Amino acid sequence: MSRTYSTLRAEKVDHHILLATLDRPEVSNAMNTQMGRDLLDLWSGLVASPGAVRAVVLTGSGNRTFCAGGDLKERHGMSNEQWQAQHEIFERQYWTLLDCPVPVIGAANGHAFGGGLEILLACDFFYAAKTARFALTEVTLGIMPGAGGTQFLPRAVGERRAKEIIFLGKPFAAEEALQWGLVNRVCEPDQVVADAIATARGIAANAPLSIRQAKKSIHHGLDMDLKSALLYEIEAYNRMVGSEDRLEGVRAFNERRKPVFKGR
């Protein structure tokens, strides 16, 4: 998958790994309307036809900021209708990211505030540079998190911690995010993207249909009662039994070799 955008770069690292980079470094990769449209197109393409892509790494350009959130200079002077129309685009790109069938790993190369942190929360998980700081600053601007922040953050760090973070709107460090279970790994600043790509390659080496079904089972199962979630899991599991990859995995195990999965 290779597309050209004005606010982000999407490039294959190898046959199965896509590196997506928010690319507005002159404004700390702040999200304007066009970036919302570009991200929506990127995720929509992966939902409709991921092709050979088995994992995505999402990062920001530069070495200071992943994403500063919404572009407040563009928003300055917007009417209520214009603001809401723009936010509708943002909402759709976040929701489509959630629907992406392949794993999306965030690589926070720098600070992530407001909507920037919400993008990372919508990823399957994320790594962070040890110099990165995070915040949901919306209440300091007269609004509130509106792209999943009030839902994903409590699920990651617990209700009480999330309330403190959101009500104060103050930044916190990568190490704190690690302790609270928000970030999976803290990396050296010049290694965070490489570490995320290494993890993506490990994921891509496994059976792609199995990864997609497991992701779907986790994602939807968390919204169900336990018994319903277990039944949903078995439905997802049974779809793997007749796959070529399941036969290849068992065959490779018995032949003591590395399996060659084809996503069939």
Catalytic positions, written as ranges: 118, 138
Q: Residue type at 48?
A: A
Contacts of 164 (CB under 8 A, 6+ apart): none
Q: In what order do the strands lie in the sheet with 185-187?
A: 3-4, 8-12, 17-22, 55-60, 104-108, 125-129, 185-187
Give the separation between CA 139 and CA 168, rounded to whole angstroms: 8
> Please, where are the H alpha helices in 125-173?
149-157, 159-168
Given a contact cutoff of 8 angstroms between Cβ atoms, the answer to whether 8 and 21 are in contact is: yes
